[in-house]
Amino acid sequence: MYTLYWSPGSASMAPHCCLEEAGVAYALKLVDTAAGEHRKPEYLALNPAGKVPVLTIDGGFTMTESAAICMLIADRHPAAGLAPGIDDLERGHFYMWLMH
């Protein structure tokens, strides 16, 4: 299962939307950056840079960076149609706009 660590005002909305659109099971964990939760050792163990969002999969695999998280979700769930197919040249535009 996916777990998305998010915070208001962070770049976590796009990965959240991708999880929702993919129709997969996920949990949300609020990171209260105003209270400094992103600087606590437990969170820094997930992301030493202390940035939000973080995505974990099955409690073992962890990744950061909103665009990369979106790409991973799109790749793992191609039936959701979040991105053009890997052999489709339009995939380049998907990457372009995701990085914009």
Residue whose tokens read 């202390």: 50
Give strand pairing partners of 32: none
From the list 7, 10, 12, 66, the catalytic residue is 10
18 with 82: CB under 8 angstroms? yes
70 with 98: CB under 8 angstroms? yes
The continuous run of DSSP H or E covering 3 comes out as: strand 2-6
And the tokens for 85? 């197919």
User: What gap in Å lies between CA 62 and CA 59, rounded to an integer?
Assistant: 8
Known catalytic residue: 12? no
Residues with a catalytic annotation lie at: 10
